[in-house]
Structure 1
Amino acid sequence: MKKVMTTTISTLAALLLFASASVMAQQSDYQVQQDFRADYNEITDRINSAASSDDVSDINDQIDQLEADYSGYEELLNAALYPDTFEDRVAILRTSLGGAESNIEVVNELNERIEGLQAEIDEFRTQIAQMDEDSEAVRQRLERASANERRLSGLVTQYRQNLESRDEFVSDFLENLLNRYQAMDSQTQSEIAEASESLEDDPLSLLRTILSEYINQADRETGLEAQDYLRMRAQHAYFETVWDRVGSRMANAYASDSPVQAEQEITDLLAAWQASVDNKLWNALSTAFNQNGIELPAFTSENAFNNALNSFVDNASATAREQNEEADVQLYESFSNYWNNTVKSDWGEYLTTGNVLSQGQIASIDVKLGDWARSAEPVSNLMFILFLISLAVIIGLIVLLVTKKS
């Protein structure tokens, strides 16, 4: 009996020990699964919040450690993670980390571009401000000088050179904008819009400043001449062309909250600039022609200017055909010389790029000048003189014959 009881107790103890071991094993397996999930989630959170290349490097080491720590429990984790596997989860972490690294590189690149852009804008503002200051100083000297002093001192020439240098500098800036923004896609515009919030200044603000100064420049009385205003008109045309190509992209990038309004502000400033230039241009052109003995009909627009030129040439050519006087030749030579040596030679590029006259319109006037030249050419009186001499000889012979018969 005692032996039976001893056997029974031993059996129960063995069962209890087995059950305890089984429970401990289950608890250990469960703990491994829980620990893996906790470590996995921690790494996932770190990936989502990664902000630098150092973060990426640390997280990559953490993934390597996770893989090393749990590789011995792969079968257990495969069963717990089904239909995923342990290798799948490690691969997901590495893929997510690669995506985060790419995003960080994009952000870093954008930040570098924004910093570079800010530096460019600051440098440009400094230089353009210095140019404006120099031009203003010369302009004020012009206002204080008499007409004779202006001619002798060359102040107008200096002022003109300052304006030309400023135009070249602005043109280089516009070329840079064209190259940078013309092919920009919508995704890049959105990225720049987000990054540009940290900008203290932006290209749109700079463009508004440049245009405002151009308007002020055109409105001032500075003793400039037709060629100067034609150059302004050409500069305006180039500015407008660049804005037409990149305006909407720049507005979306740097004024994402109100891009339409931002774009319209620049467009309105461009229109105001052209109006200020034209306010001086047409009178300056009329004066220039008048000073060379060419009184054109009144004009206040591109089409009216072209019509005035054609009307003058047509009327002068018709008068030359009818009267054929020396004055007609002199007028032709005066117009032809001024047209070829000043208008086409000195103004030609500004006229065409500023959309004042087209190449075709200039060519048309050239053709009419040829007709005018033929009309103004003096008609030879030699045949008429020979006719009178012949007539006088015949009359003399008749008189002689009549006298002899008498």
Structure 2
Amino acid sequence: MNTLIKQFTLFVVLTLFTGMAAVAQQSDYQIQQDFRTEYNELLERIDQATTTEALEEIEEAINDLEDEYEQHADLIDASSNPDSFDGAISTLRQTHASAVESISTIEDLNDQIEDLETEMEGVKSRLDQLSDERTTLQQQIDASTENEARQASLIRQYRENIEERNLFVSNFLGELLSKYQSMDSAQQQEISEAAGRLEENPIDVIKNVINEYINMMDQSSALMAPDYVSMKAQHGYFVEVWDSIGEQLVNTFAPENPAQTQEEVDQLLTAWQSSITNNLWGSIRTSFSENGVELAEFNSSEEFFNALNSYLDGSIETSVERNSEEDYDVYREFNNFWSNTVKAEWGEMFIEGDILSQSQISAIDMKLDDWRDEAMPTSNLTFILLIVSIAVIIGLIVLLLTRKSGESKA
């Protein structure tokens, strides 16, 4: 009986021990499986993440996984999994870091595109507003031909609108220049891949601006010589900016046909130049004519300078021959127009627009001095010399008396 009890007791103990060992083994296996499951889920979450916010949550989950299973590191290392515990955590962190870098780049690019879209919308809106104002002013100018005072006021507003437009466009070009001049090919490629979302990109705006300038040149009746001179300077700056960043812009915003797009803009700039040329020289000649100066025909900067020289040479020669009061009046009229209008109001635009250089303006000034000397009537010159002589004599007498007075006191 005792033997039977002992055998039964031993059987129970062995059974309990075996069961406990099996339970322990099953528990260890479950830990290994749970770790692997959570590990794979985190890898999948990283792969599917699309925002940095989602990746921040995943980073916390990685930390939690490490904290939870760190005490079972040896058990996980002993499993048949290809990675050790530390290796698995390291893989998660490296994969997470790579995803953060990639998604951050995408988010930065999206921000750039959104900012660019907002900027282009703002530029287009302002240009449309200026165009609408200009159209309205042109209609009012055409309808006010019988009221000279009102028409003059409207023309002044029209020219102010053009000046405002030129300044706005110049600022826009300056911003493009600073933004894209130093952009490398990798940055161009990044923006290019997302630029298709833009309704209007910088190249579209540039084309619209040039077309608007061409229409303005061909259709406006309110433009005068200084407006065309200002437009020539604006065109020169436009070409300068396009030559600097045109290639970067077409590679960024027209990657499918960059050469064709660049040629289209080049052709528009050429058409704009032709439109300016067709109006500029005639308007300058008309302005001189309206102030009593009839210049020979000219159609370029060089021809304009030659026409001025020819006019002055002829005027000087006439003054040498006649030396009349009438010649002096002609000189004074030309000098007044040249000094107070051409140089004072147009001089800077002439230089910026490559109409006349500073040295050419100085050369005209020197010839004007020669003309003045020859045009001044001899009788007037004699009188002036007499006055100067008397003043010199009086000055000498005063000087001598002063010295004698000083010597007497000494």
Greater alpha carbon shift after TM alignment, 74-83 vs 134-143: 74-83
Q: Give the letter for the 2:298 counterpart.
A: F
Contact 1:142–1:150 (8 Å) recurs in 2: no
Give a deviation string over 1:350-375, Cα, whole Å, max 9, x none: 11222222222222222232233333
Give a deviation string over 1:163-193, Cα, whole Å, max 9, x none: 2233233233333323333333332222221
Give a deviation string over 1:225-281, Cα, whole Å, max 9, x none: 111211222222232233233322222222222223223322221221121122111
| Structure 1 unaligned spans of 5+ | 1-9, 384-406
In structure 1, the partner of 2:406 is: none
User: How far has the Cα of 1:196 moved from its partner?
Assistant: 1.7
In structure 1, the partner of 2:266 is: 267
User: How far has the Cα of 1:382 moved from its partner?
Assistant: 6.7
Greater alpha carbon shift after TM alignment, 255-264 vs 282-291: 255-264
Listed as ranges, the matches of 1:236-385 within 5 Å are 236-379=235-378
- Distance in 2 between residues matched to 1:93 and 1:116, nearest whole Å: 34
- Distance in 2 between residues matched to 1:236 and 1:150, nearest whole Å: 32
Listed as ranges, the matches of 1:7-406 within 5 Å are 40-72=39-71, 74-75=73-74, 86-146=85-145, 148-154=146-152, 155-379=154-378
- Distance in 2 between residues matched to 1:64 and 1:271, nearest whole Å: 64
Q: Give the letter for the 2:50 counterpart.
A: A
Give a deviation string over 1:365-399, Cα, whole Å, max 9, x none: 2223223333334446979xxxxxxxxxxxxxxxx
- Distance in 2 between residues matched to 1:262 and 1:29, nearest whole Å: 67
Count of aligned positions: 370
SS of the residue corresponding to residue 147 of structure 2 reads helix
Contact 1:351–1:357 (8 Å) recurs in 2: yes
| Structure 2 unaligned spans of 5+ | 1-9, 384-410
Contact 2:109–2:190 (8 Å) recurs in 1: yes
- Distance in 2 between residues matched to 1:328 and 1:90, nearest whole Å: 99
Q: Percent sequence identity over matched residues?
A: 40
Q: Structure 1 residues 153, 378: closer, same or farther in 2, change over 3 A? A: closer
Q: Give the letter for the 2:46 counterpart.
A: I
Q: Structure 1 residues 35, 334: closer, same or farther in 2, change over 3 A? A: same
Greater alpha carbon shift after TM alignment, 366-375 vs 297-306: 366-375
**Considering only aligned residues, what root-mean-square deviation do their CA atoms show, in Å?**
3.6
- Distance in 2 between residues matched to 1:82 and 1:321, nearest whole Å: 110
- Distance in 1 between residues matched to 2:139 and 2:60, nearest whole Å: 69
Give a deviation string over 1:93-150, Cα, whole Å, max 9, x none: 323322322332232232223223222322332332222122112212323343x424
Q: Structure 1 residues 70, 305: closer, same or farther in 2, change over 3 A? A: same
Q: Structure 1 residues 205, 367: closer, same or farther in 2, change over 3 A? A: same
Q: Structure 1 residues 382, 41: closer, same or farther in 2, change over 3 A? A: closer
Q: Structure 1 residues 80, 336: closer, same or farther in 2, change over 3 A? A: farther
Q: Give the letter for the 1:116 counterpart.
A: D
Q: Structure 1 residues 234, 150: closer, same or farther in 2, change over 3 A? A: farther
Contact 1:150–1:156 (8 Å) recurs in 2: no
- Distance in 2 between residues matched to 1:176 and 1:255, nearest whole Å: 19
User: How far has the Cα of 1:197 moved from its partner?
Assistant: 1.8
Q: Structure 1 residues 237, 81: closer, same or farther in 2, change over 3 A? A: farther
Normalized against structure 1, the TM-score is what? 0.77
User: How far has the Cα of 1:298 moved from its partner?
Assistant: 0.9
Contact 1:336–1:369 (8 Å) recurs in 2: yes
User: How far has the Cα of 1:286 moved from its partner?
Assistant: 0.5
- Distance in 1 between residues matched to 2:129 and 2:50, nearest whole Å: 40
User: How far has the Cα of 1:283 moved from its partner?
Assistant: 0.4
Q: Give the letter for the 1:149 counterpart.
A: N
Normalized against structure 2, the TM-score is what? 0.77
- Distance in 2 between residues matched to 1:81 and 1:93, nearest whole Å: 19
User: How far has the Cα of 1:218 moved from its partner?
Assistant: 0.4
Q: Structure 1 residues 382, 279: closer, same or farther in 2, change over 3 A? A: closer
SS of the residue corresponding to residue 106 of structure 2 reads helix
- Distance in 2 between residues matched to 1:67 and 1:43, nearest whole Å: 12
